[in-house]
């Protein structure tokens, strides 16, 4: 069978995913400001796609015979470039139509208006021009291009004006560039007397009507706003690197000056300005995208964040996990022994006492990240009985409570180690800063394993304890599917496991020994760790389902992940389908597997869920001969089924063995599969079909109202 018959192209599948994001902004069931937010998310996603994927594609095209090279699916690179452009143009046309024809008028009806400069009265113009003189004009820097002035460097994702100016009476035109400053709010508020009214003027509109003042005595012949995107697809090979931090900092410097891959401008852009910019940046006509709407749709995040609760989702307040309620307040480094005021459940305890009582499954953002994961590390930092803390950091917030806790722990004399992944894409500079802060505080900082990114989400606490059997050391661990990032923990659905099970904590100890030391072949008791064992372990689990199906035993695979791309595991799933194994896939992003193809994958069905929260958790279920969905094997972890996760990253998945925790995971997967509010069916050709709510379903069920309401009820219960 040809690869084209087996696989969907990754980049085209990703564009289908982003189309589902765009569809959220077109969905009238979604609150108005949330729809505006999804417009901005769509653009932000597309920026990253051009920086990474189109940047890589252009680099391959530039190589010898690049245009005729083919992808794994048999598409020539030149054809793929054409298809990407065709799809992007269509999606951006929809985006502009949604903003200009639907959302912008709807916002105006709700009292939120984005006005044009030429709509303003004389008094309003006077006020806003005075504001411009004070807050914007001194920042603007006109840069001319002539024999004594070279074409200026234009930074990635910057918004600019290209102008043609001439002296009075002269036909000779000179090019000049003015950058729209990034330090000024993109939508300038206009004061109005209406209660709850929000009126704005786009900053680029304001600057455009005042540009002539930057070139006194000259005639402005053309003004064209434009925006460029630069490649971020740089080499990541580091096996021979002497200093990883130095290499990352050097890569950041090179990325700043990387080749341009896209030029965006409005449809009425000056041909002369555009041709000049295209030539100077080394682009061609395929790289130019003329579109309606704001120059930068991601600027709409400012509008989407307005304090209008009537136009957004009801705020979700995470509940404290049932197993962690009524914990003792921490005083002087120790949980208080007596009951807290208002507690009716008797003496309170430390978080470690609760974890000793049994594994605790966490489901964010429905359950509080602050009162579980953050508390786990913070309490450990202050607990005099804790002797060591270890943690991985892939992405976190600039004011990360985890960094503060690790620094405080080191200052308290504990042995603290932290693996900071310096190569987390677009967070490199932030992570370099964290690494230096931690090292300065005395934390043992490692940067990962050469040749691999560290993507696993693990924390370890070593505690000296006194029990009936005398004093001893006990180890606690947290293994998660998402980053130690308090902000995204409120926006992404993720899972985590707090455990004191020696079989699991012992495996986490080995993971950290590998990350901070040297270990060629670690053997793990229960966890599945990449790159050494994960691929073969998943293949063996699929093989077991195939064998069970052939023997007439219950056989099923349910897998929830962010993306599915690995060809080896995809072919294994095709084998499972041929053997009669029922395979359900819930893949939020791109899915390169073709589901529902007769003779190939007729027993495989695939869904994608795009909703209020970004579905980030990874859950893998194998029936293992058990008919009851609450039985069998459940795994959660950091890895998607992508080649990079299985072969080029340090990843960790952990079995969930607690009976009640398995029941919760079974219910989550069941609800998501039955969802008919946020779900899309992935078709064999890579397209998607939205599942409509079932009009015959009971109210507030996944079939009638969506996943969120059901998960909320599940969490509260």
pLDDT digits (tens, 9 = 90+) for 309-333: 999 999 989 999 999 999 887 655 5
Query: Residue 238 — pLDDT band, cuts 50, 70, 90?
Result: very low
pLDDT of 341 reads 44
State mean pLDDT over 547-559: 98
Most confident of 125-129, 197-201, 344-348, 581-585: 581-585
Query: Residue 239 — pLDDT band, cuts 50, 70, 90?
Result: very low
Most confident of 69-78, 89-98, 320-329, 469-478: 89-98
Higher-confidence residue of 167 and 297: namely 297
Across 62-182, the runs of DSSP E, i.e. the strands, are: 112-115, 142-145, 159-166, 174-179
In terms of C-beta density within 10 A (0-12 exposed, 13-18 middle, 19 or more buried), how is residue 274 classed?
buried
Q: Is the per-residue pLDDT at 192 higher than 70?
A: no
Query: Residue 39 — pLDDT band, cuts 50, 70, 90?
Result: very high
Contact 499, 479 (CB under 8 A): yes
| Radius of gyration of the chain, Cα coordinates, nearest whole angstrom | 28
pLDDT of 171 reads 78
Higher-confidence residue of 567 and 714: namely 567
**Least confident among 113-117, 419-423, 443-447, 680-684:** 419-423
In terms of C-beta density within 10 A (0-12 exposed, 13-18 middle, 19 or more buried), how is residue 456 classed?
buried
State mean pLDDT over 463-492: 90
CA atoms within 13 A on the CB side of 588: 18
84 φ, ψ to 5°? -60, -45
State mean pLDDT over 603-620: 96
Q: Is the per-residue pLDDT at 270 higher than 70?
A: yes
Is 455 a residue of the active site? yes
State mean pLDDT over 458-472: 84
Domains and CATH numbers, the chain: 3-306 (3.30.1840.10), 351-525 (3.30.870.10), 529-716 (3.30.870.10)
Tell me what percent of the residues of the chain surpass a pLDDT of 90. Answer: 76
State mean pLDDT over 19-37: 97
pLDDT of 202 reads 96
Query: Residue 72 — pLDDT band, cuts 50, 70, 90?
Result: confident
Query: Residue 540 — pLDDT band, cuts 50, 70, 90?
Result: very high
Encoding tokens for residue 207?
A: 């600057």
pTM across the whole model? 0.92
pLDDT of 346 reads 47
Of 283, 168, 167, 296, whose CA–CA distance to 226 is shortest?
A: 296
For the stretch 373-397, pLDDT in tens is 999 999 999 999 999 999 999 999 9
Check 198, 209, 363, 455 and give the catalytic one. Answer: 455
Most confident of 320-329, 403-412, 422-431: 403-412
Contact 445, 435 (CB under 8 A): yes
pLDDT of 641 reads 98
pLDDT of 170 reads 80
Q: Is the per-residue pLDDT at 68 higher than 90?
A: no
pLDDT of 149 reads 81
Name the average pLDDT for the chain.
90
With a CB cutoff of 8 Å and minimum separation 6, the contacts of 46 are 18, 88, 91, 92
Q: Is the per-residue pLDDT at 613 higher than 90?
A: yes
pLDDT of 338 reads 44
Query: Residue 707 — pLDDT band, cuts 50, 70, 90?
Result: low
pLDDT of 694 reads 72
Q: What span, in angstroms and rounded, lies between the C-alpha atoms of 503 and 166?
A: 76
Higher-confidence residue of 465 and 337: namely 465
DSSP-assigned beta bridge partners for residue 59: none
Query: Residue 256 — pLDDT band, cuts 50, 70, 90?
Result: confident
């Amino acid at each position: 069978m040809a690869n084209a018959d087996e696989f969907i192209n990754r980049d085209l599948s990703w564009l289908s995913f982003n189309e589902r994001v765009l569809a959220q902004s077109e969905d009238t069931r979604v609150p108005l400001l949330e729809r505006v937010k999804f417009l901005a998310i769509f653009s932000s996603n597309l920026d990253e796609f051009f920086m990474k994927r189109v940047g890589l594609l252009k680099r391959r095209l530039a190589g010898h015979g690049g245009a005729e090279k083919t992808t794994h699916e048999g598409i020539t690179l030149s054809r793929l470039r054409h298809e990407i452009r065709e799809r992007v143009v269509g999606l951006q046309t929809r985006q502009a139509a949604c903003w200009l024809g639907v959302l912008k008028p709807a916002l105006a009806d709700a009292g939120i208006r984005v006005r044009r400069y030429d709509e303003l009265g004389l008094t309003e113009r006077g006020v806003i021009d005075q504001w411009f003189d004070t807050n914007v004009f001194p920042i603007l820097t006109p840069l001319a291009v002539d024999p004594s002035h070279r074409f200026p460097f234009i930074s990635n994702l910057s918004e600019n004006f290209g102008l043609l100016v001439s002296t009075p009476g002269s036909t000779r035109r000179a090019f000049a560039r003015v950058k729209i400053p990034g330090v000024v709010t993109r939508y300038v508020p206009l004061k109005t007397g209406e209660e709850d009214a929000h009126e704005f003027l786009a900053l680029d509109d304001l600057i455009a009507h005042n540009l002539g003042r930057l070139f006194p005595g000259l005639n402005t012949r053309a003004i064209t706003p434009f925006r460029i995107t630069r490649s971020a697809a740089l080499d990541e090979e580091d096996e021979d690197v002497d200093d990883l931090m130095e290499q990352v900092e050097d890569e950041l410097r090179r990325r700043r000056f990387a080749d341009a891959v896209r030029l965006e401008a409005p449809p009425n852009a000056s041909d002369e300005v555009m041709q000049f910019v295209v030539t100077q940046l080394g682009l061609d006509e395929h790289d130019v995208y003329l579109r309606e709407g704001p120059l930068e749709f991601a600027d709409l995040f400012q509008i989407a964040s307005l304090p209008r609760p009537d136009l957004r989702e009801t705020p979700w307040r995470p509940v404290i996990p049932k197993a962690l309620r009524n914990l003792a307040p921490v005083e002087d480094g120790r949980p208080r022994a007596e009951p807290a005021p208002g507690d009716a459940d008797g003496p309170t305890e430390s978080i470690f006492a609760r974890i000793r009582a049994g594994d605790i499954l966490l489901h964010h953002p429905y359950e509080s990240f602050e009162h579980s994961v953050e508390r786990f590390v913070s309490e450990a930092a202050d607990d005099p009985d804790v002797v060591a803390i270890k943690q991985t950091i892939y992405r976190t917030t600039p004011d990360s409570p985890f960094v503060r806790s690790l620094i405080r722990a080191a200052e308290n004399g504990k042995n603290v180690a932290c693996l900071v992944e310096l190569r987390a894409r677009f967070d490199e500079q932030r992570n370099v800063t964290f690494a230096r802060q931690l090292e300065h505080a005395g934390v043992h900082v490692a940067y990962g394993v050469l040749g691999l990114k560290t993507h696993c989400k693990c924390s370890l606490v070593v505690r000296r304890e006194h029990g009936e059997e005398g004093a001893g050391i006990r180890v606690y661990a947290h293994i998660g599917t998402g980053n130690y990032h308090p902000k995204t923990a409120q926006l992404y659905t993720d899972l985590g496991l707090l455990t004191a099970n020696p079989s699991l904590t012992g495996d986490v100890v080995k993971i950290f020994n590998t990350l901070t030391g040297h270990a060629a072949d670690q053997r793990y008791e229960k966890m599945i760790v990449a790159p050494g064992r994960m691929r073969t372990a998943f293949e063996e689990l699929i093989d077991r389902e195939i064998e069970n199906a052939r023997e007439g035993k219950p056989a099923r695979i349910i897998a929830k992940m962010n993306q599915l791309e690995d060809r080896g595991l995809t072919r294994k799933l095709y084998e499972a389908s041929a053997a009669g194994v029922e395979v359900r896939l819930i893949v939020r992003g791109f899915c390169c597997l073709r589901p529902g193809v007769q003779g190939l994958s007729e027993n495989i069905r695939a869904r994608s869920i795009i909703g209020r929260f970004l579905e980030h958790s990874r859950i893998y279920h194998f029936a293992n001969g058990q008919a009851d969905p609450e039985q069998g094997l459940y795994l959660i972890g950091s890895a998607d089924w992508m080649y990079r996760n299985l072969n080029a990253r340090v990843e960790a998945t952990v079995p969930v063995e607690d009976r009640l925790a398995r029941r919760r995971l079974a219910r989550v997967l069941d609800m998501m599969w039955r969802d008919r509010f946020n779900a899309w069916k992935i078709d064999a050709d890579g397209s998607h079909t939205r599942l409509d709510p079932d009009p015959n379903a009971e109210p507030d069920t996944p079939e009638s109202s969506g996943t969120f309401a059901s998960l909320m009820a599940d969490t509260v219960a």
